[in-house]
Amino acid sequence: MRLYVSINSPSHEMAKSPIDDAITFVAKHAAVENRHGHFPTGPALDITFMLASKDDVPPFSGMRMGCYSREGGTLFFEAAVPADVTQSGQAPHYVAMVMQNMVDNAKNYFDELGIEFDSYTWQQMMENMTRLEASATALQ
């Protein structure tokens, strides 16, 4: 259906950080794929990356699943990004792992509810987007 990617940042200092660049790259590609209708039919996924700074950290670690809106057909996730990842050259790899983890969690959730979810195509889409990101990062 669709993929929504957003960032919740505690400060403007995170702008143009490695994690901001990595998340923005995936968000831009998701917007293009959304516009062209390339995501599989079925539920949409919405992920917010919660960035940490020395003064502000998310109230959880890892990833948490929010609610599933049957009306909007959207499953919501939040991923807490550790402060040491925000400035790391490993940020694109971190984002790739989070995106894959989100699809795995969505598959498990929808399997339990008996809702059709094309996890194979979703995984392929995530791999393609993050492979493009890794290539772009390597060229910089």
Domain coordinates in residue numbering, the chain: 3-139
Query: Which band of pLDDT confidence, cut at 50, 70 and 90, is reported for residue 38?
Result: confident
Mean pLDDT of 48-58: 86
Q: Which two tokens stand for residue 10?
A: 């505690």
Mean pLDDT of 101-129: 93
CA dihedral 121, 127, 129, 133 (to 10 degrees): 180
Mean pLDDT of 1-6: 90
Q: Which two tokens stand for residue 16?
A: 């143009």
Predicted local confidence at residue 132, as pLDDT:
64
Mind giving me the DSSP string for 21-80? HHHHHHHHHHHHHHHHT-SPSS-EEEEEEEE--SS---SS-SEEEEEEETTTTEEEEEEE
Query: Which band of pLDDT confidence, cut at 50, 70 and 90, is reported for residue 135?
Result: low
User: Which one, of 62, 61, 52, 59, lies nearest residue 86 by Cα?
Assistant: 52
Predicted local confidence at residue 14, as pLDDT:
73
Higher-confidence residue: 115 or 37? 115
Predicted local confidence at residue 122, as pLDDT:
92
Predicted local confidence at residue 140, as pLDDT:
56
pLDDT tens string 65-76: 999 988 889 999
The yes-or-no verdict on residue 43 having pLDDT over 90 is yes
User: Which one, of 91, 101, 102, 97, lies nearest residue 136 by Cα?
Assistant: 91
Cβ-proximal residues to 12 (8 Å cutoff; 6+ apart), any chain? none
Predicted local confidence at residue 49, as pLDDT:
96
Residue 97: count of CB within 10 angstroms of its CB? 15
Confirm if 133 and 25 have CB atoms less than 8 A apart: yes
Mean pLDDT of 60-83: 93
pLDDT tens string 5-24: 999 987 777 778 899 999 99
CA 71 to chain centre: 22
Q: Which two tokens stand for residue 84?
A: 């040491």
